[in-house]
Structure 1
């Protein structure tokens, strides 16, 4: 199921095996193993594939017929990425221990950063 779904997504998006392999940082032959059901990606690679094709990992694995993540699944994935990132997890761990004044300053700094991006 995984191999067929993967190939179908690639063909639908008019990508070559080399395109996907380059994104993943692997050889075309390594990627072809996934499509030919000769190997399975690790969790990190599975997540990268889901991001590349803009579908959920559950869709890739055949656990759902709905390609897109629900907003709750997306929120959970975003939180997991945040909480497990060593550079960002310090905020997740330390922020609840901070006083309200520090949290308020951080909010203001974040608003400035968001406005600078736009």
Structure 2
């Protein structure tokens, strides 16, 4: 899954392997190896790939079907998640989340990080 999504997203952004490699301070051969499935990026590199491809690691790994190009979001565990949510307002909020713009999602992520750090 990673190799297909990596290549697809790179092409959607009209980046060559060389251009993506330069952003990651690596070589075209390394990007080619990731896209061919010959090798997999370490976690740190995977995070950088997601950042430079303006997507998530979940999307690249196939956990999520969220695609920045379409704005569609679906998580494989979604049916179980919906069943686990008992609060109708939370369900409504979750369903509306994919329609949010990037800036709002970044703000939400920052708030979530603050909440999680307060628990420690």
Residues 1:38 and 1:78: Cα distance change in structure 2 (over 3 Å): farther
Larger Rg: 1
Match of 1:105 in 2: none
When normalised by structure 2's length, the TM-score is: 0.58
Match of 1:74 in 2: 109
Q: Which runs of 5+ in 1 are unaligned?
A: 84-91, 93-118
Q: Which runs of 5+ in 2 are unaligned?
A: 74-96, 98-104
Alignment of 1:4-83 (within 5 A): 4-67=4-67, 71=105, 74-75=109-110
Residues 1:27 and 1:63: Cα distance change in structure 2 (over 3 Å): same
Give the aligned length. Answer: 81
> How far is the alpha carbon of 1:31 from its aligned partner?
1.1
Residues 1:77 and 1:52: Cα distance change in structure 2 (over 3 Å): farther
